[in-house]
């Protein structure tokens, strides 16, 4: 018996080729990630390699988490010593570990998109560059591109022509500010270790010696710094195993370089190449659709996936009246999957091209009471109150973080106005001090009026006190202390508005997350916590507020890479949305279909996430930039062979079909599964029943749901029923869980007597 028994011969060969460079080039769902995982288990358990000699890089924290738990299931506790994570997470770890050798501050801060925009706005202001000459967003995009091409400010200035000298100047100032704040942005997080390791060969040599094996998943989406990092770290033992799929390269717009995978054989002439073509994930119909779609791309190596699995259900294409109707249809379909197919909400994913599409879906899901999470959304952590709380914590971890200090010095209000602040900033600048240090020398800033001086002294006192608490208290207690001592909770308490209550709830969730974190982690330090949060963006699902394990996942197609779900609903299949208008325009103006091909690969990624059920939806009208716009179906839909698709329409029924409605009413709802249900017409209009009709059966009459009783909710725990309304499928309860009141739909909430 070997661990590798769970692999087919081609996969086994890949997992067993443990010496020298190895490229696994294979289609979606063919077991690439599985091979990586089994290979790690084989190396550790069967060949006796110590786990710390391994480095495995994945694309999202979610994928890393899944890989770690798969390995843990095979090798147990030893998996804790593995370095598995996203490029960003691995790099943050490497930077902290070797900070001293690199001459860096260990307690650096990681800046997210909002921080980076705030910093950029300040720099543009300081350099007196008006927004019409250079928008912060544009400046950031150009700098990001430069960083991903490993071009530093000096080189940038050299290469930039006359017109781009302004950007060069901004880039240089931006870098100085980052360093002064002891901060890295997301691009730096990868480029900086590469630069440092190039500068410190002795440190590099230690890592090279340590990592006997380096494994990289989703290699087709690595950019230049990522490519350099992986090859540098693997150079010692040359056991570099990369896996990828050229058809799933979806980050070229962000600097991912497909050549990294296509040229692997050139970079490593002795590389073994393994191809896998058997798909284990999807039904034959889903695969045929995926193969047909990707077949329309010219720029690819070419491969066909096949499966021994069942033919499966037809794919469904549903046209809805507008985006609201689409959201209603999506929710209705999920409810049917849960009720009729016995799927758990967590087995369903709703995918879309742009984040903006999530709003309508979210609203409809909220109404239904179905549990859901938005994967990859940093929204929770982007909320003002959460960012404020984190700014306090970040300042405690890294006193040089001026950006965080500026965020909270007058939040809640302490009477520190802009003028006083500018005196402080000027003084700090002249003395070349950080703002925290300047705050402790207020006596030397005569311009301050007595009131501001006092307010600043109090703020400095607060930060110093909290700094002491940082060493004395554990993480959740520190969080609580920060919110109380800073006056933040008082400020919210005094405000009776529903918004303030929602803010308090969010802060409670943050504290709950800190609690959970400190129970799960071996070393739950403040720094570790901040790092996990910082690295959650941009494509991630880990670290959502707790209590949402079995929930429908909502995410962009980009975030779905590498994942799989029994049922997938892919929304917004419309021209100018998917493919995006940018891609459509580019094709028209430059007559090159590269952007369209990338969109098509993204569609291929979307289709291949589905195991059994796939719904594609589009709307005839969609709210875009504040107005309702006519939409045309996506060109990609026509690329799916029609015999695989069942067409449906959803929404207001046109008159001639009234009869069908009457008929539907007359038939009592059944609990038949989709597969048992009589097959609807192959092509043509098939009306989707309204949810009310379908779930007419009532859940009433169960005594434990009376007002005043206690119940148990799978995510929110024990709660007391305060009120009830509606009946049947609309039966809703208001329940108090702890300090929060939630409205739940009885039909889906899985309540038990508590």
Q: Which two tokens stand for residue 123?
A: 């720099």
CB of 311 to ligand ATP, least distance (A): 18
Interatomic CA distance for residues 415 and 451, integer angstroms? 8
Q: Would you say 719 and 688 are in contact if contact means Cβ atoms under 8 Å apart?
A: no
Least Å distance, CB 572 to ligand ATP, is 21
Token reading at 209: 């010696």
| From Mg ion, ligand ATP, none, interface partner of 28 (C-beta below 5 to 8 A by class) | ligand ATP
**DSSP assignment of 180-205:** HTTEEEHHHHHHHHHHHHHH-HHHHH
User: Residue 368: which of ligand ATP, Mg ion, none does it interact with, CB under 5 to 8 A by kind?
Assistant: none
User: How many of the other CB atoms lie within 10 Å of CB of 350?
Assistant: 29
List, by residue number, the catalytic residues. Answer: 32-33, 217-218, 248, 609
CB of 412 to ligand ATP, least distance (A): 47
CA separation for the pair 539, 552 (Å, rounded): 17
Number of Cβ atoms within 10 Å of the Cβ of 433? 16
Among Mg ion, ligand ATP, none, the one that 281 touches (CB under a kind-dependent 5 to 8 A) is ligand ATP
| Of 198, 137, 203, 206, nearest in space to 170 by CA | 137
CB-wise, 192 or 564, nearer to ligand ATP?
564
Q: How far apart are CB 41 and ligand ATP at their closest, in Å?
A: 13
Answer with the entry of ligand ATP, Mg ion, none that 193 interacts with (C-beta below 5 to 8 A by kind).
Answer: none
Residue with Cβ nearer ligand ATP (188 or 564): 564
Q: Residue 363 has which token pair?
A: 């609203």
- Distance CA(668)–CA(431), nearest Å, equals 80
Q: Cβ atoms within 10 A of the Cβ of 485, count?
A: 15
| Stated length of the chain | 754
Residues 588, 245: contact at Cβ < 8 Å? no
Please identify the residue of the shown chain whose CB is closest to the bound Mg ion. Answer: 33
Classify residue 130 by its DSSP letter: -
37 versus 452: smaller Cβ distance to ligand ATP: 37
User: Near Mg ion by CB under 5 A, which window of 24-32, 166-174, 422-430, 471-479?
Assistant: 24-32
51 binds, among Mg ion, ligand ATP, none (CB under 5 to 8 A by kind): none
Distances (CA, A) of 463 to 333, 396, 401, 418: 52, 7, 13, 20
Least distance to Mg ion, CB of residue 37, Å: 10
Q: Taking CB within 5 to 8 Å according to partner kind, which of ligand ATP, Mg ion, none is near residue 623?
A: none
Tokens of 340: 């009729």
In the bound state with ligand ATP, the residue whose beta carbon lies nearer, of 11 and 98, is 11
Nearer to ligand ATP, 280 or 737 (CB): 280
- Cβ(211)–Cβ(55) below 8 Å: yes
Q: Smallest distance, Å, CB 609 to ligand ATP?
A: 7
Q: Which is nearer to ligand ATP, 63 or 405 (CB)?
A: 63
Cα angle 624-627-630, degrees, rounded to a multiple of 5 = 70
Distance CA 686, CA 680 (A): 7
The DSSP symbol for 45 reads: I
Min separation Cβ 677 and Mg ion, Å = 33
423 binds, options ligand ATP, Mg ion, none, Cβ within 5 to 8 A by partner type: none
Positions 28 through 67 that interact with Mg ion (CB under 5 A): 32-33
- The span of 75-83, 451-459, 485-493, 560-568 binding Mg ion (CB under 5 A) equals 560-568
d(CA 109, CA 92): 10
Which C-beta is closer to Mg ion: that of 58 or that of 142? 58
Residues in the site for ligand ATP, rule: CB under 6 A? 6-8, 11, 26, 28-34, 245, 248, 280-281, 562, 564, 608
The answer to whether 498 and 492 are in contact (CB under 8 A) is no
Q: Based on CB atoms, which residue is closest to ligand ATP, 38 or 381?
A: 38
The dihedral over CA atoms of 307, 308, 314, 318, expressed in degrees to the nearest 10, equals: -30
Q: In whole angstroms, how close is the CB of 37 to ligand ATP at the nearest point? A: 7
The yes or no reply on residue 85 touching Mg ion (CB under 5 A) is no
The one of ligand ATP, Mg ion, none whose footprint includes residue 21, by CB under 5 to 8 A per kind, is: none
* Helix 87-97 / helix 224-234 crossing angle, nearest 10 deg: 60
Contacting Mg ion (CB under 5 A), which of 244, 371, 562, 593? 562
Binding site for Mg ion (CB under 5 A): 32-33, 562
């Amino acid at each position: 018996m070997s661990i590798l028994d769970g692999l087919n011969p081609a996969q086994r060969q890949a997992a067993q080729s443990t010496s020298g460079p190895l490229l696994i080039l294979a289609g979606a769902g063919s077991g690439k990630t599985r091979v990586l995982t089994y290979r790690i288990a084989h190396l550790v358990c069967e060949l006796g390699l110590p786990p710390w000699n391994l480095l495995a890089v994945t694309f999202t924290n979610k994928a890393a988490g899944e890989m770690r738990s798969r390995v843990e299931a095979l090798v147990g506790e030893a998996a804790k010593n593995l370095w598995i994570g996203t490029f960003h997470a691995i790099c943050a770890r490497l930077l902290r570990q070797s900070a001293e050798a690199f001459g860096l501050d260990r307690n650096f801060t990681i800046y997210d998109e909002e921080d980076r925009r705030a910093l950029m706005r300040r720099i543009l202001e300081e350099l007196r560059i008006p927004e019409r000459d250079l928008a912060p967003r544009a400046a950031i995009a150009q700098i990001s591109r430069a960083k991903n091409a490993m071009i530093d400010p000096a080189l940038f200035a050299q290469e930039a022509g006359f017109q781009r000298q302004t950007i060069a100047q901004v880039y240089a100032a931006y870098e100085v500010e980052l360093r002064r704040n002891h901060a890295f942005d997301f691009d730096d997080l990868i480029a900086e270790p590469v630069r440092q390791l190039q500068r410190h060969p002795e440190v590099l040599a230690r890592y090279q010696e340590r990592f006997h094996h380096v494994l990289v998943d989703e290699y087709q989406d690595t950019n230049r710094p990522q490519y350099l990092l992986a090859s540098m770290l693997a150079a010692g033992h040359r056991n570099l195993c990369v896996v990828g799929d050229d058809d799933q390269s979806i980050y070229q717009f962000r600097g991912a370089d497909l050549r990294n995978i296509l040229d692997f054989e050139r970079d490593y002439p002795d590389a073994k190449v393994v191809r896998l073509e058997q798909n284990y994930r999807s039904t034959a119909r889903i695969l045929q659709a995926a193969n047909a779609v990707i077949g329309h791309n010219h720029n690819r190596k070419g491969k066909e996936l096949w499966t021994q699995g069942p033919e499966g259900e037809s794919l469904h294409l549903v046209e809805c009246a507008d985006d609201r109707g689409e959201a209603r249809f999506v929710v209705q379909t999920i409810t049917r999957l849960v009720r009729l197919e016995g799927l758990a909400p967590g087995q369903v994913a709703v995918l879309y091209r742009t984040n903006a599409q999530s709003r309508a879906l979210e609203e409809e899901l909220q109404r239904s009471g179905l549990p859901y999470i938005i994967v990859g959304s940093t929204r929770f952590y982007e909320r003002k109150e959460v960012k404020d709380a984190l700014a306090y914590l970040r300042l405690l971890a890294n006193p040089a973080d001026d950006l965080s200090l500026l965020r909270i010095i007058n939040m809640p209000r302490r009477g520190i106005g802009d003028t006083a602040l500018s005196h402080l900033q000027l003084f700090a600048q002249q003395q070349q001090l950080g703002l925290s240090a300047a705050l402790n020398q207020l006596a030397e800033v005569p311009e301050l009026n007595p009131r501001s001086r006092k307010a600043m002294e109090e703020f400095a006192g607060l930060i110093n006190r909290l700094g002491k608490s940082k060493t004395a208290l554990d993480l959740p207690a520190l969080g609580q202390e920060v919110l109380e001592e800073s006056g933040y909770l008082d400020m919210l308490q005094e405000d009776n508005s529903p918004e303030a209550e929602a803010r308090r709830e969010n802060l409670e969730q943050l504290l709950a997350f800190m609690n959970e974190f400190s129970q799960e982690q071996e070393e739950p330090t403040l720094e570790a916590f901040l790092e996990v949060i910082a690295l959650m963006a941009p494509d991630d699902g880990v670290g959502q507020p707790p209590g949402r394990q079995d929930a429908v996942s909502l995410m962009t197609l980009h975030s779905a890479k590498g994942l799989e779900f029994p049922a997938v609903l892919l929304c917004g299949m419309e021209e100018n949305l998917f493919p995006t208008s940018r891609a459509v325009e580019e094709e028209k103006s430059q007559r090159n279909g590269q952007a369209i091909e990338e969109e098509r690969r993204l569609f291929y990624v979307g289709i291949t996430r589905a195991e059994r059920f796939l719904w594609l939806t589009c709307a005839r009208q969609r709210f875009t930039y504040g107005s309702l716009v006519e939409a045309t179906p996506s060109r990609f839909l026509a690329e799916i062979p029609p015999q695989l698709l069942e067409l449906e329409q959803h929404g207001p029924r046109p008159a001639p079909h009234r009869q069908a409605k009457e008929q539907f009413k007359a038939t009592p709802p059944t609990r038949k599964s989709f597969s048992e249900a009589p097959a609807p017409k192959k092509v043509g209009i098939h009306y989707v029943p309204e949810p009310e009709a379908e779930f007419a059966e009532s859940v009433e009459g169960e005594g434990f749901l009376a007002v005043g009783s206690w119940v148990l909710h799978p995510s929110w725990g024990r709660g007391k029923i305060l009120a009830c309304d509606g009946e049947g499928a609309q039966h809703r309860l208001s329940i108090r869980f702890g300090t929060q009141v939630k409205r739940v739909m009885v039909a889906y909430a899985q309540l038990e007597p508590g």
